[in-house]
Structure 1
Amino acid sequence: MSDTLATAVSHSLEIKHSRFTAHAAPIDGPAHALAFLQQVAVADATHNCWAYRHGQDYRSSDDGEPSGTAGRPILAAIDGQGFDQVMVVVTRWYGGIKLGAGGLVRAYGGTAAECLRTAPRQPLVALAQLQLMAGFEDLGALHAALAAHGADKQDEQFDAQGVRLQVSLPRDQVDALKMRLRDATRDRIRFRDDA
């Protein structure tokens, strides 16, 4: 189980007269990551290098720095700190002293890693989708059980037989919810797992 950021954070370092500022934020997908880049990138800075990870989807950019010296070290910092669903942008203002390839890797990766190391974390909870069918007589027990197990209603449709519900809940609560509903309704509620 990995974490994401609880909130957007930033961190700055000065290395051989170059200033590096990392901005990191939780993201809900690649489009959100690129929107964050547009939000924090500084037009008159020397470079705005970045990386994001969202599950198996990841990208990085060296933004004009030598290939592999900025984006990949930022991505390595995200992975090394155990984060997912995170975007990090490291902005550099050149200070007149060349750092060399190894120095750039350490500067970009180090600034990103330090930013993430001190950031507030939020655990990522694996969610499951569940479809339930219940008669009207079981609605009270159904809603009480959903609340007790952290389930969010995604869709609710009524017909002559009762209700058809689509819910999202923490994956580790699925079995407990099913058992509670079977006990409370004498096994009248029907389930269909979508995930």
Structure 2
Amino acid sequence: MPLTLASPVHHELIVKKSRFIACVQPTVDRAAAQKVVAGLRARHPDAAHVCWALLAGGQSAAVDDGEPGGTAGRPMLDVLRHQDLDGVLATVVRYFGGVKLGAGGLVRSYAGSVAQALLGARKVEIFRLRRLRCELPYPLEGLLRRELERSGATLERVAHGAGVCCEFGLPENAAAALIARLNEAAGGRIVWREEDST
């Protein structure tokens, strides 16, 4: 199961007077990643390079930002893939120290700074969210609400008409057990509508 990060983590590496400032953080997509990178460029106007790699919901990127092709973004991306991460942006801001590192030195520095940052990261599992809809008689609304709270589900919408219509979301791996408990407790009086996953 893919993992993401609970919060951003940082690491700084000095190699032959060049300073590599790495950050690995959770992100939702490429647009959000590009905003972070733009912010880094604004905060580090004297940096030689702001390289980055992204894995987020099927989107990926490996940007060398002027470093020789394949020496920065790709090694950073490989570190993310190797750790089965998703929804993650890795950035490295480089201040050039005056000594050229060569292709191998660059690959080791960029990949190494990201890998070192990840050593301090708290990784969390990514759960697919399942949205459920149901209709039930008024006397069962309290039962439904108690079961949703017990399951950690998020009640998103309630409509009162001929009966009570509810929409809620919960981790996909908890959905089947909740449906079974509710069906048993309600004696089959809950009508399930369409369901989807995100």
Shorter-chain TM-score tier: over 0.9
1:187 aligned counterpart, secondary structure: coil
Structure 1 residues without counterparts, runs of 5 or longer = none
Say whether residues 1:82 and 2:84 are aligned partners: yes
CA distance in 1, matches of 2:130, 2:69: 40
* 1:14/1:20 contact within 8 Å kept: yes
CA distance in 1, matches of 2:48, 2:168: 48
Equivalent AA in structure 1 for residue 6 of structure 2? A
Say whether residues 1:7 and 2:7 are aligned partners: yes
Structure 1 partner of 2:157: 155
CA distance in 2, matches of 1:106, 1:190: 58
CA distance in 1, matches of 2:156, 2:102: 52
Over residues 4-53 of structure 1, what are the superposed CA-to-partner deviations in whole Å (9 max), with x where a residue is unaligned?
11111110001111110101211122222122222333221000000111
2:12 aligned counterpart, secondary structure: strand
Structure 2 partner of 1:21: 21
Structure 2 partner of 1:181: 182
CA distance in 2, matches of 1:158, 1:51: 48
Structure 1 partner of 2:147: 145
* 2:28/2:57 contact within 8 Å kept: no
CA distance in 2, matches of 1:156, 1:113: 46
Over residues 82-123 of structure 1, what are the superposed CA-to-partner deviations in whole Å (9 max), with x where a residue is unaligned?
221111110111111111112111111111111112212222
Say whether residues 1:172 and 2:190 are aligned partners: no
- Pick which of 24-33 and 62-71 moved more: 24-33
**Identity score, percent:** 38
1:148 aligned counterpart, secondary structure: helix
CA distance in 1, matches of 2:130, 2:86: 18
CA distance in 2, matches of 1:163, 1:52: 43
Structure 2 residues without counterparts, runs of 5 or longer = none
